[in-house]
Structure 1
């Protein structure tokens, strides 16, 4: 009979997220996870299987938490312009409030691990596809409403916006100046109008 978990999984994932976010996957030891989560090694292995599988669950937890924030912002948006601006505003907020300059866990992982581990590569591809599809839907709506130009397809603009967001997150590790970030975003979004 499998053992029942005697801990709150989300609390453990939150603590593990902090460690992986600061140290990266390769820099995080099992002892770091034991110390952060207050679980012993056997509990971690029994509950998550391995450091890799725990990390994949951390990535899903991190992505779903941030994804929920995006969904809430989009639900409050009146049109495509507000939706795109809300997404970028959320990223600026994340950058400005990142006091330890950790950057985005997903972007950091993408550069650290995507070419080293097939399961992480698969996660990153699905995450990227999901984000680009969301952006494409917004751009399509904006083009149909004649808010955005049609110089490029919605798919091309979505990839451009996704790449720009990735670059913004990397820039934000070293530059947290809100005025600089907002000027950068205005420049990025000019292509749509």
Structure 2
């Protein structure tokens, strides 16, 4: 008879995500995860598999959370350009409220592990493709609305925006001055006008 999980999986993922977010994958030990989740090693292995498997579940959970937040943010836009502005404003507020300067778990993972593990590469590539598709659709809509210029194709602007978001999230680890961050956002948005 299979064992039944007697713990709150979402809570365990949240606690494990916090550890990975604080320390990164490589610096997180199984003992760190045992202490954070209050599960013993065998429970972690039986429920999640390896440390890497647990990390991937944490990344997916983090991604799901932010996919919802981003969708909610974009739906508030009066037009496509405004939606993109709101997206950067969302990230700006995330940076300002990140008192521990941890940055984005997925962006950090890209810096730490994008060339180390196939399953991580696959996750990051899929995440990137989905986000670029979303941005491309927004830009295309904005160009049809005449709120975004036609100087570049939707794909070119989507790649630019994706890169800008990644850079913005990374820059926000070291720069948390709101005025400076707003200047960066204003410059990015002006490129689309």
TM-score, normalised to structure 1's length? Answer: 0.98
Aligned to 2:107: 107
Give the Cα separation in 2 of the matches to 1:143 and 1:2: 55
SS at match of 1:144: helix
Aligned to 2:48: 48
Give the Cα separation in 2 of the matches to 1:160 and 1:18: 30
SS at match of 1:191: helix
Aligned to 2:11: 11
Give the Cα separation in 1 of the matches to 2:183 and 2:74: 22
Give the Cα separation in 2 of the matches to 1:31 and 1:51: 11
Deviations 1:98-140 (A, max 9, x none): 1111111101110111100000000000000111111111100
Aligned to 2:155: 155
Aligned to 2:77: 77
Runs of 4+ residues deviating >2 angstroms: none
State how 1:17-166 maps to structure 2 within 5 Å. 17-166=17-166
Give structure 1 stretches of 5+ with no counterpart: none
Question: Shift of residue 82 of structure 1?
Answer: 1.8
Deviations 1:65-114 (A, max 9, x none): 11110111122222102210111011101100111111111011101111
Give the Cα separation in 2 of the matches to 1:141 and 1:114: 31
Aligned to 2:183: 183
Give the Cα separation in 2 of the matches to 1:21 and 1:189: 29
Give structure 2 stretches of 5+ with no counterpart: none
Give the Cα separation in 1 of the matches to 2:67 and 2:119: 20
Give the Cα separation in 1 of the matches to 2:114 and 2:2: 33
Give the Cα separation in 2 of the matches to 1:150 and 1:156: 11
Q: CA RMSD in A?
A: 0.7
Give the Cα separation in 2 of the matches to 1:82 and 1:3: 50
Give the Cα separation in 1 of the matches to 2:76 and 2:190: 23
SS at match of 1:26: coil
Give the Cα separation in 2 of the matches to 1:51 and 1:184: 37
